[in-house]
Amino acid sequence: MKYLPRGTGLAGALIVLIIAASLISPHFLNPINILNVLRQVALYGILGIGMTFVILTKGIDLSVGSIVALVGVTGAVLMEQGVPIPLMVLICLSIGALVGCVNGLGISYFRIPAFIMTLGCMVMVRGFALMIADGGTVNPGKLADSFFVLGGGYMLSVPTPIYVFAAVCIIAAVVLSFTRFGRAIYAVGSNEEAARLSGINVPLVIFSVYIICGVLAALSGLIFLSRLSVGDPNSGLGLELEAITIAVIGGTSLFGGEGTVLGTIGGAMVLAIIANILNLAGVSPFSQQVVKGAIIVLAVLLEAGRKPRK
């Protein structure tokens, strides 16, 4: 298997999944269902892309789920106060950037381990969300229709989040493959010392990836808010694990330096299809978790089997 090109395991798993899914349920290939699945891919894929940037530098960001919650309640409160939508969106994205900044500063300049730093932020940011929402959900009343389009609407009969996800993927792929910054990210993840000696500003690179991850989490939070039309400070629990899973299934190495945008898209698709088909097949909620876990391990095994052991 080690002579097969990169990503073969994942592509194979995806094809097997799609064939199995269409055999298990006649509804799977229904165009509306496909669009449903793609919307799920988009919602979680955006978080997965942010996580890919961070994991490429050998980092981790546990605060993304909390950012989704904080952005949700802040956005809802701002709308409630009649703040214009574009300004609200800008403020929310800045919140993501700000949390990313705090994470990045702690990790790159104060050398706090990423796991601890982002864990701290995860708890703190969730606290802010609960404070702002006073524990309950924030209901902005009648949402501006133009905002609902972002999460719940369609453009040319394709759900809007898919366009957002596509844009994010294209930009991310260009940055990672064709810019000096992208190459620096891979270099820092593969060998930090070598990267530093070759003149890369390592702390700056690490700092930047957390801001990217924070902004993408905020973008995802805006889509969740638009989709649900209420801000829920308890939403997004466990999303960080979902994002990490997506990146890892997609072939991003937790040891840094290895991973692609295309892989992450594939990872998001695997997770979304599994969840969809289990519901379509009417599998009991408890068995669903077992099956999901097993398929995740299997997908990663298939991908790992391709690589020669170090």
Partner 1 sequence: MLNITRRMLIISAGLATILTAAPAFSADKIVIGFSQASSNSAHRNTMTKRNQAYAAEHFKDVDLIVTNAEGKSAKQISDVESLMVQGMKVLMISAQDSAAIAPTIKQVLAAGIPVITLERSLDIPVTLHVGPHNKPIGTLAGKYIAEALKGKGNVVEIKGDPAVAPAVERHEGFAEAIAGTDIKVIAETHADWDQEKALKFMEDTLQRFPAGQIQAVYAHNDNMAFGALRAIQAAGRDKEGILIIGIDGENAAIRAVAKGDLTATFTYSTVAPEGVIAAHALATNDTAALEKLGTLTKKDDGSMEIEIASKMITKENAAEFFCKGFGDDPECK
**In whole angstroms, what is the distance from residue 33 CA to residue 187 CA?**
40
Does 242 engage in binding with partner 1 (CB under 8 A)? no
Residue 158 host element (H or E): strand 158-159
Does 282 engage in binding with partner 1 (CB under 8 A)? yes
- For residue 275, the minimal CB distance to partner 1 (Å) is 7
Choices 32-40, 52-60, 99-107, 248-256 (CB under 8 A): range interacting with partner 1:
32-40
Does 130 engage in binding with partner 1 (CB under 8 A)? yes
- For residue 127, the minimal CB distance to partner 1 (Å) is 9
Tokens representing residue 196 in the block: 């530093």
Q: Which of 136, 106, 110, 108 is nearest to 121 (CA)?
A: 106
Does 233 engage in binding with partner 1 (CB under 8 A)? yes
Instruction: Give 223-270 as a DSSP string.
Output: HHHHHHSSB-TTTTTTHHHHHHHHHHHTT--TTSS---HHHHHHHHHH
Tokens representing residue 27 in the block: 């509804």
- For residue 137, the minimal CB distance to partner 1 (Å) is 6
Does 33 engage in binding with partner 1 (CB under 8 A)? yes
Does 135 engage in binding with partner 1 (CB under 8 A)? yes
Would you say 198 or 279 has its CB closer to partner 1? Answer: 279
Of positions 192, 232, 242, 303, contacts partner 1 by CB under 8 A: 232
Residue 212 corresponds to which amino acid? I
Residue 17 corresponds to which amino acid? L
Does 227 engage in binding with partner 1 (CB under 8 A)? yes
Neighbour count for residue 5 (Cβ, 10 Å): 7
Binding site for partner 1 (CB under 8 A): 25, 27, 30, 32-33, 36, 40, 80, 130, 133-141, 152, 224, 227-230, 232-235, 237, 275-276, 279-280, 282, 284-286, 288
